[in-house]
Amino acid sequence: MIVMLTAWTIVALGIAIASFAIVHERDWRKRLNNTILIDGLVTAELDDPEWENTRAEIEYQINGSSYRFVSNYGTGMLAVGDRVRVAVNTETGDAERLAFVTRWVFTFGPILLGGMFVLFGLLIIRQFGG
């Protein structure tokens, strides 16, 4: 009984993890509907003690005007002077660095992890005759 309960809990956890990723992907795609992609330049690295990480201050230009923002994501391998892709929402003016790593962490990784949890849970259920 405990084994089956644990197995179903693992399956539910896997579904929850994958669902988070799917919702994040849906929101990301909705955000990209009104977004333009432009080049930006890393102008500073700011320490973020809350996350024990550094975040990039990025500058970009639209129609001759310069704008700056601090990326919500860690800099990773970025240094001052590096060029990056920036997604700018044309309706709200919100900007964010566009990088494959952030997509991996918030979408592809959780979908794979959730799938592994579901598979593992179902294998336990099958093994113990659920």
pLDDT tens, N- to C-terminus, the chain (130 residues): 899 999 999 999 999 999 999 998 888 788 778 888 889 988 887 766 665 567 788 999 998 999 999 887 766 677 888 899 898 988 888 888 888 777 778 888 999 999 999 999 999 999 997 5
Collect all residues with Cβ–Cβ distance below 8 Å to 127 and sequence separation of at least 6.
none
Q: Yes or no: say if 102 and 75 are a contact pair by the CB < 8 Å rule.
A: no
Per-residue model confidence (pLDDT) at position 40: 92
Per-residue model confidence (pLDDT) at position 53: 63
pTM: 0.66
Tokens of 127: 């093994």
Per-residue model confidence (pLDDT) at position 74: 64
Per-residue model confidence (pLDDT) at position 123: 96
Q: Which residues of 56-88 are buried (b: 16+ CB within 10 A; e: fewer)?
A: bbbebeeeeeeeebebebbbeebeeeeebebbb
Q: How many CB atoms lie within 10 A of CB 37?
A: 11
Collect all residues with Cβ–Cβ distance below 8 Å to 45 and sequence separation of at least 6.
54, 55, 56, 57, 75, 78, 79, 80
Q: Yes or no: say if 38 and 60 are a contact pair by the CB < 8 Å rule.
A: yes
